[in-house]
Structure 1
């Protein structure tokens, strides 16, 4: 699906369709092709269809208008079954070698936060292992038949990043995280043993360790903030957080506990909380919020932004020697990396490096 040209009215309509609650949401918008595509692109098409089928949306909408969302709901249910199976297989391989696993993002949300897994599609399976065990976990899974998808700019880049290189295991993309955020990311939290901050979820006989709700909330908020910084907001992330927030006995106290984890980023995280709260209320959407969400959802020049963000994170990575090494490899990556991204270009390694230096990053 290419770039979608959407308007603020489409964002308002998505908010109206996605709002939480058992009471009916009156929908007065227009279910046009752009809205359908936007819902699919941002991961909420299945959620909107689920709400419609459960009579949580009223208005001039026919089921045939939502055919693409219905199809996505069905396919997401089937795909998530396979991903749950792969999660269990990966967890068992690592457990037998003494490496504990925490499920992150989609696998936890679909299995433990949403009532029906089909309403929360996931692109891959994200897991967290203890810091320092990422490469060992990668090696074990490669030995078990996984295939690596790409290589990093350098070994050091991979060591300081939030996750090691992605792999494909039994047809499912798996990301092995060694920390929640890279060492130079402003949302990185130092010295936290996440394995002491977990809760247990069971889905169809599969036990999933999840971050407790405070740390899960922080990860989701910070992940959204970090991605807005580097390319754009996925509307479905707001729905994820709204559902999680609504499950807390004292929402305000809960949000405050989440924000206290990283006081230096409280303002950025609070802005996203404001967006999330729009989905938790049946009140009229405040006018200032629509433009904020609209701007955050717009795709940016990702390549150019990533170049700036990469150097910013290098600057904030601990140790001068690391900074120098990372900066050098940012300009002159490992030859394996260059061959990987230049495989469709008929030119020598030297020309690839020159193109990288003078013709833009890729």
Structure 2
């Protein structure tokens, strides 16, 4: 007799089994998507996961398509397919169900995956003029300047910022809710430019909420509820990287007043909008473009040189050649 589980029970069982084997960030992403999935099942009166079929998965995909951008949809459906394969392995759904799922690759040609330094400066100038020193301003400036992961930004407490010495400390504190990607190996001190420290100082003085988190720690980046969340940071970066936000113009021939991407929840649907991880990639590319040694950049952003070269160095071969020419003083 096949065991019957509700969608929520199945998702929670899957997450418990995966927890020892995956990074916390991966588990967070899976938990976030599967919570949306089981809540959707409840709204559709799907009592047991055993009753799920291909039509249900297709309907869920259509509903998510109305809420998120192309890249996010791809990532979410990839997670759901992994979960569906787990359901198959436990005999809870029909074999082959995962293979029938539509998980279309996003059209990379239709959207940006990074921004250049000129665009970053446009955004910073806009924020300095109109939103200084808001949370959105300080988060964008900090991520662009440091190339940090989102989780690392969240991990910083007020005491970890040293304005007079111009640096921040990063500590792996999993027991109080802020693990770092590579655990203790990600712990480091990151230098900050004077302009970044100045924004942070003014944010702390005038706009930071004086709150503690659920572990009585004092975060550097806060909302009224406590430590800034992953989704809150993503929303801010998605929103401010829309050209209509910082130029009041649309390069995609859309009517701004009617564009769905101008709403807060649908900002990721703008082809020019990027995510925090894309901003990190953009920052790394900029540092390399500036001629900084790969080893030093890798240490600053907590990457191996090999990983940086494979996944973060987005310079074209022509750009690399020109940089080498400048470095070696070759005119021809």
**TM-score w.r.t. structure 2 length?**
0.30
Q: TM-score, normalised by structure 1?
A: 0.28
